[in-house]
Amino acid sequence: MNAVEQAGRKRTLQGTQRTLPAATAALSFSDNDYLGLARHTRVAQAAIQAIRESGTGARAARHLAGPCPEHAELEKALAKWKGAESALVFSSGYQTPLGVIPSLVGSKDTVLLERNAHACLFDGARLSGARLRLFARNDDESLGEALAISKKLSPEAKILVVAESLHSMDGDFVDLKSLVNLKNRFGAWLLLDEAHANGVIGPAGAGWAAEQGLVESMDIQMGTLGKALGSSGGFVAARAAVIDCLLNEARPFLFATAPAPAAMAAAAQALQIIRSGEGAKLIEKLQENIRLFSCLHPNPSQGPIQFQRVSSNEQVVCFRDALRLSGIEVAAIRPPTVPEGAARLRISLSARHSEPEIRKLAEELVRIGAG
């Protein structure tokens, strides 16, 4: 048995082996389309019109393919939405930190990263070659100690603190005021990943930094187009000088084919909806759904990401399959997506869900013994 086969056997024994589903249940609580915009008629129409005008693909990296109005228009709108001087789009949310972090720090610098941060943030930090230190989320003492040690070891080096505003698995919001106070105290930079908060909270859905009134304290705001914005791609918003640096240094931007114009047009239309009266109603509906589920389920989270801890990897798959048989799709999360021993059902609430659908989910969770 070769190493690849051995690794597959090990995953099977540990209950972490994955396969792509041949079919899913009709009622989905497993995706991140928080406002239901991925199938919105005007969003789809914007994508179709972009295909007619600009074709199905961007054809090359942006430095080579020439100007594309869909990219420029979206970047302008994103910068305004996030209260930043400028913005830059990437082909995917995952690629964004792989370009951003190595462009801003190097081998003489330090990245301070939340211990359970998303894999793309770890990968971006490792690619940078910077010293990597971990701190516990929402723990001032842990972050303060990491900042103090980093500053003492390399007084002139850059320190980049990286945190998720709304955690992708635990569903909690970061204590942003404390983060800002500490990063200012030690002269560090802060990269805030708003992937799951954009479109969900804040004035005009502008995210957690906007909700907390701390946009001006953000050095870099990062996000995705593939969640509340109902499209695909990633983006970063910051000062014009930072965006100019990324445009020249970020390898996923320099060497990857640009995002498809249709995806950019779809995201721009979704953003226009989010910032409108219709968007305000969608965000309020999402918040109503969060409040409803919180009343029906023990240990609720603050945002649309809810979860139920499960005793084992095998058990969480059994629960997922039982829910699927009842017509409900919920994600079974296992290592390495979460740490060992932290398997869970991950429930994503959306504005598209009705009250009866949420009640059905809560009832089925109780019925199968997971609620």
How does strand 86-90 pair with strand 234-238?
Answer: antiparallel
Let me know if 172 is a catalytic residue: no
Q: Which of 82, 167, 196, 297 is catalytic?
A: 196
Q: Is 154 a catalytic residue?
A: no
Which residues lie closer than 8 Å to 324 by C-beta, 6 or more apart?
24, 25
Q: Which two tokens stand for residue 208?
A: 């957690």
From the candidates 40, 71, 118, 183, give the one annotated as an active-site residue.
Answer: 118
Quick check: is 168 catalytic? yes
Minimal CA–CA distance to 33: which of 337, 329, 332?
329
71, 227, 297, 353: which is the annotated catalytic residue? 227
Structure confidence at residue 324 (pLDDT) = 96
Residue 299 in this model has a pLDDT that exceeds 90: no
Residue 257: band (very low, low, confident or very high) from pLDDT cuts 50, 70, 90? very high
Portions of the chain given CATH number 3.40.640.10: 41-274
In CATH, 41-274 is 3.90.1150.10 = no
Residue 1 confidence class, pLDDT cut points 50, 70, 90? low
Q: What is the pTM of this model?
A: 0.96
Is 164 among the residues known to form the active site?
A: yes
First to last CA, the chain: 41
Catalytic residue among 30, 32, 54, 231: 32
Tell me which of 109, 164, 329, 357 is the catalytic residue: 164
CA 160 and chain centroid, separation: 19
Query: Does residue 10 have an active-site annotation?
Result: no
Active-site residue (options: 168, 232, 313, 350):
168
State how far the Cα of 190 lies from the Cα of 219, in Å rounded to an integer: 5
Q: Is 175 a catalytic residue?
A: no
Q: Is pLDDT at 22 greater than 90 in this prediction?
A: no
Tokens of 1: 């048995």
Each residue's pLDDT tens digit, 185-243: 999 999 999 999 999 999 999 999 999 999 999 999 999 999 999 999 999 999 999 99
- Judge whether 167 counts as a catalytic residue: no
State the pLDDT at residue 23.
81
Q: Where in the chain is the domain with CATH 3.90.1150.10?
A: 22-40+277-367
Topology classification of domain 22-40+277-367: Aspartate Aminotransferase, domain 1 (3.90.1150)
Residue 223's pLDDT is what?
A: 98
Given a cut of 90, whether residue 260 has pLDDT beyond it is yes
Q: Which of 70, 75, 170, 193 is catalytic?
A: 193
